């Protein structure tokens, strides 16, 4: 039996699992956004392709709160560019297919994502059905911890010099104390991240999990890698059936492995569901 036939059989198994599910858990990592034109920063080479001026540095080095103290223009050059990129990205059709399936689940659904890009909201998923476990670039917090909490970025934008990835416009400020603002994202080595918004999302999620504990939960995991396996662990723990969609790291012991990109896999499954 060739690999193509194996994939087709697993796509059929995935469609059957979704068709009979009572509830749906959608887990998403950076690979989910690739088909929307977003970089996944896979490995140092992937990061350098997205940001050539940072060659020799690692993503974990740049996604670090220390830059907001040491070099605010560099910090906001990096995160300002990401904010602009995510705002301009259009969610691929796979998001629409997931929402269609999810809205037909008898016991509902939830999204658990490590992405900070807000693509699920842009695709029409309601805020109260999403956990952004690493926060969101579309919300800000104060670097001085003045007690202002978390606020929407709204129309906040930063002009970035793409030759240097440095901010060349006014930097975002806290509306309460005028100290430098930063994204409400959990960065590497980040003890200043305010988890209040994500904590509320997790509370909503835990309530849903309690409601569906005895139900048939299918977990669809998309583009979640092994480097930071938070989403993989969550889907493995919660889904009675696991469908793992990942072109490079699809191994799913006891589950259904689809070594495909997110948009391609979801379209194939949808063709069978339709």
Residue 246: exposure state from Cβ atoms within 10 A (0-12, 13-18, ≥19): buried
- Residue 4 has a pLDDT of 57
Instruction: Find the domain containing 182 and state its range.
Output: 3-273
- Residue 1 has a pLDDT of 44
Residue 163: exposure state from Cβ atoms within 10 A (0-12, 13-18, ≥19): exposed
- Phi, psi dihedral angles at 80 (to 5 degrees): -65, -40
Q: Which residue(s) pair with 258 in the sheet?
A: 245
- Phi, psi dihedral angles at 267 (to 5 degrees): -65, -40
What are the structure tokens assigned to 47, written together? 């990061």
CATH number at residue 257: 3.40.50.1220
Q: Which residue(s) pair with 184 in the sheet?
A: 136
Q: What is the pLDDT of residues 214-236, one digit of tens each?
A: 889 999 999 999 988 999 999 99
Closest CA to 72 of 147, 157, 179, 176: 179
Residue 101 CB contacts under 8 Å (≥ 6 apart), including other chains: 18, 24, 270, 273
Residue 106 CB contacts under 8 Å (≥ 6 apart), including other chains: 22, 23, 215
- Which residues of the chain carry a pLDDT beneath 70? 1-5, 44
The number of domains in the chain is: 1
- Bridge-based pairing of strands 135-142 and 150-152 is antiparallel
Say how many Å lie between the first and final Cα of the chain, rounded.
Answer: 26
| 127 secondary structure, DSSP code | G
- Residue 3 has a pLDDT of 56
- Bridge-based pairing of strands 241-245 and 217-222 is parallel
Q: How many Cα atoms sit within 13 Å of 206 on the Cβ side?
A: 6
Residue 24 to residues 75, 98, 228, 238, 243: CA-CA distances in angstroms?
Answer: 37, 9, 22, 10, 11
* Cβ–Cβ < 8 Å for 258, 10: yes
Q: Which residue(s) pair with 24 in the sheet?
A: 109, 218
> SS3 for 222?
strand
CA gap 250, 246 in Å, rounded: 5
Tokens 């999990």 correspond to 209
Write down the pTM of the prediction: 0.95
């Amino acid at each position: 039996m060739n690999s193509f036939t194996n994939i087709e059989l697993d796509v059929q198994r995935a469609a059957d699992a979704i068709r009979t599910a009572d509830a749906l858990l959608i887990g998403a990592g950076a690979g989910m956004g690739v088909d929307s034109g977003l970089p996944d920063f896979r490995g140092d080479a992937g990061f350098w392709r997205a940001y050539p001026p940072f060659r020799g540095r690692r993503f974990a080095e740049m996604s670090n709160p220390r830059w907001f103290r040491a070099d605010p223009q560099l910090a906001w050059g990096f995160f300002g560019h990401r904010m602009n990129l995510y705002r301009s990205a259009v969610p691929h059709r796979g998001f629409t297919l997931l929402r269609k399936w999810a809205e037909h689940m008898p016991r509902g659904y939830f999204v658990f994502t490590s992405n900070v890009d807000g693509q699920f909201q842009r695709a029409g998923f309601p805020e109260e059905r999403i956990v952004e476990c690493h926060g969101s670039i579309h919300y800000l917090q104060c670097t001085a911890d003045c007690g202002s909490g978390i606020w929407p970025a709204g129309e906040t934008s930063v002009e970035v010099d793409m030759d240097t990835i440095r901010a060349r416009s006014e930097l975002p400020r806290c509306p309460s104390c005028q100290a430098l603002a930063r994204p409400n994202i959990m960065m590497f080595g980040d003890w200043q991240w305010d988890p209040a918004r994500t904590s509320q999302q997790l509370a909503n999620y835990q309530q849903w999990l309690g409601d569906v504990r005895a139900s048939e939960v299918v977990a669809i995991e998309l583009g979640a890698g092994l480097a930071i396996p938070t989403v993989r662990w969550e889907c493995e723990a919660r889904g009675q059936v696991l469908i793992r969609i990942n072109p490079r790291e699809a191994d799913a012991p006891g589950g259904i492995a689809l070594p495909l990109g997110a948009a391609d896999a979801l379209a194939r499954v949808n063709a069978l569901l339709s």
